[in-house]
Structure 1
Amino acid sequence: MNSQSVANAPQSNNSLTLNWTYILFFGAFHALALSALWCFSWQALGVAIFLHWLCGGIGICLGYHRLLSHRSFEVPKWLEYAIATCGALAIQGGPIFWVGGHRQHHGYTEDVEKDPYSAKRGFWWSHILWLLYPKQEAFDKEYYSKYASDLLRQPFYRWLDRYFLLLQVPLAVLLYAFGGWSFVIYGIFLRSVVLWHCTWFVNSATHTWGYRSFACDDNSRNLWWVALSTYGEGWHNNHHAHPRSAQSGWRWWEIDVTWYTIQLLDRLGLAKKVRKIPMSKIS
């Protein structure tokens, strides 16, 4: 989608304009991620993979998404806060922003006005342009907080929502102490960029390609390669059919690493009230 198609898309009363702060921020991260080509080491790559899993698999997929957005299971409060902190390290916004936006997405899926990253505006809108042409409804704290009032009531989440970016400072210092600039480039910049696009593909690709197991009103689809890169989130049609389920992959070959992690927490006595897709519902 180019600028002209964005302008022609159905809009609210607020005109869509480029946010140059966001463009410079994302552009700088992508440029620094490319510098990883000149400072490669297997150790640095290992750091990037580990932090991709910790911040993405644990922080975003398990934490921000299935635990906080949908409350598909419960854990002790200390563990919930620790997992949410991992999510904040992903640099995808604070928990109130992320959860508020995601609940809008489910409440108004693919509505061109009310879904912040509606796929009906086009692939590139739902992938990244919704961030570069921010709609007031999606980025106004007073508005999106209404959809995450359970988090807004907790001082820790209000603090994390405001200061999540500052968490990158101690992480960068720690990475530099252990491996120098290559660890910082791989552990902060390359990891963040790869994880961003993995997450954004859930918004874009899984509303475009793949198969459907459930007859949802939206165009959500199951897409294996997105599932593999997002620890199970690519089984998106399953998820939209049963959003409160802790289990997204249903069939034996629908690999869902996040679900396996929740099962492990359950066996360790750390997860309770775990919700599953009713077997009778699968087609």
Structure 2
Amino acid sequence: MTAKFMASAPETGNSPRLSWTNVVFFTTFHALALLAPWFFSWTALGLLVFLHWLFGSIGICLGYHRLLSHRSFQVSKGVEYAIAFIGALALQGGPIFWVGGHRQHHAHTEDIDLDPYSAQRGFWWSHMLWIFYPRSQFFDYDTYQKYAPDLARQPYYRWLDRYFILLQIPLGLLLYALGGWSFVIYGIFVRAVLLWHSTWFVNSATHKWGYRSFNANDGSRNLWWVSIVTYGEGWHNNHHTYPHVAKAGFSWWEVDVTWWSIKALKTLGLAKKVVMPPS
């Protein structure tokens, strides 16, 4: 999922209105990402791959999703805060917004009104239109924070939720200092666009295509190519059947790169109470 960037647009009854602020924001990022061929370098490409993994797998999949949303394992508060900071750098919203929305998705999966990105509204709605037509119950802080009270009680998470977008400024300055505009284009704009669509495919594609290992009470499916671009999140039928399990890939062929990082944290003694799939 992706984020609250501005307040939700006004609504007429149950019909949300188009948010031109969100349209302009995402269109600008996509347009600047198209400059990539003119700023190409192999080091910039390597930076893109690294940041896509760091912000996507560690920040979003491991941090926002498996740690904060589902509490599928435990780490110290310092490690948790560091991982959440990496997640905020992904530009997919603050942690309270992300977690609150994701918990609503699991509580009301595919409900046309109560699931923020319900697949019942169609592929493009669940992929990205839910951001362009934001509804107040999913984008207003006073509402979505009720689904993440464990985070909303903590000043650090309230700060990240409010100012996450400003973190791109020092990141951009650092990237410019290290590699000029090439690093900025690839490390900010191309990275953000590719990571957005990677994450959005979990909302859209894995509720439409793939196979089902479990008879979950929704249309979630396991889709191999989404798992590749999301570091294991594409094994969505597994996840919806056992949402509090730290491991998403259950069979040997269901590669789950994010799980490897959780295993590493456990081996180093940094993660404990890791929830495993049933035997």
What is the TM-score when the length of structure 1 is the normalising length?
Answer: 0.94
Question: Matches of 2:245 and 2:276 in 1, distance apart?
Answer: 5
Q: CA deviation at 1:135?
A: 1.0
Q: Retained in 2: the 8 A contact 1:12–1:113? A: no
Partner of 2:193: 193
Partner of 1:23: 23
Partner of 1:113: 113
Q: CA deviation at 1:183?
A: 0.2
What's the secondary structure of 1:239's corresponding residue?
helix
Question: Matches of 2:13 and 2:140 in 1, distance apart?
Answer: 15
Question: Matches of 1:135 and 1:160 in 2, distance apart?
Answer: 22
Question: Matches of 1:18 and 1:231 in 2, distance apart?
Answer: 32
Q: CA deviation at 1:12?
A: 8.8
Question: Matches of 2:263 and 2:90 in 1, distance apart?
Answer: 23
Question: Matches of 1:161 and 1:43 in 2, distance apart?
Answer: 32
What's the secondary structure of 2:15's corresponding residue?
coil
Q: How does 1:142-153 map to 2 (within 5 A)?
A: 142-153=142-153
Count the aligned residue pairs.
269
Q: CA deviation at 1:16?
A: 1.7
Q: How does 1:1-283 map to 2 (within 5 A)?
A: 13-279=13-279
Question: Matches of 2:30 and 2:117 in 1, distance apart?
Answer: 21
What's the secondary structure of 1:248's corresponding residue?
coil
Partner of 1:3: none
Q: CA deviation at 1:37?
A: 1.3
Q: CA deviation at 1:13?
A: 3.1
CA deviation string 1:34-79 (max 9, x = no partner): 0011110000011111110111010000000000000000011111
Question: Matches of 1:28 and 1:20 in 2, distance apart?
Answer: 12
Question: Matches of 1:41 and 1:278 in 2, distance apart?
Answer: 46
What's the secondary structure of 2:35's corresponding residue?
helix
Identity %: 69
Question: Matches of 2:251 and 2:204 in 1, distance apart?
Answer: 23
Moved more, 189-198 or 11-20: 11-20
Q: CA deviation at 1:14?
A: 3.3
- Give the gaps of 5 or more residues in structure 1: 1-10
Q: Retained in 2: the 8 A contact 1:14–1:136? A: no
Q: Retained in 2: the 8 A contact 1:216–1:237? A: yes
Question: Matches of 1:69 and 1:13 in 2, distance apart?
Answer: 30
Q: CA deviation at 1:136?
A: 1.1
> What amino acid maps onto 1:145 in structure 2?
Q
Question: Matches of 1:214 and 1:193 in 2, distance apart?
Answer: 32
What is the TM-score when the length of structure 2 is the normalising length?
Answer: 0.95
Aligned alpha-carbon RMSD (Å): 1.0
Question: Matches of 1:109 and 1:256 in 2, distance apart?
Answer: 23
Q: CA deviation at 1:172?
A: 0.5
> What amino acid maps onto 1:252 in structure 2?
W
Q: Retained in 2: the 8 A contact 1:210–1:221? A: yes
Q: Retained in 2: the 8 A contact 1:198–1:230? A: yes
Question: Matches of 1:111 and 1:271 in 2, distance apart?
Answer: 34
- Give the gaps of 5 or more residues in structure 2: 1-10
> What amino acid maps onto 1:55 in structure 2?
F
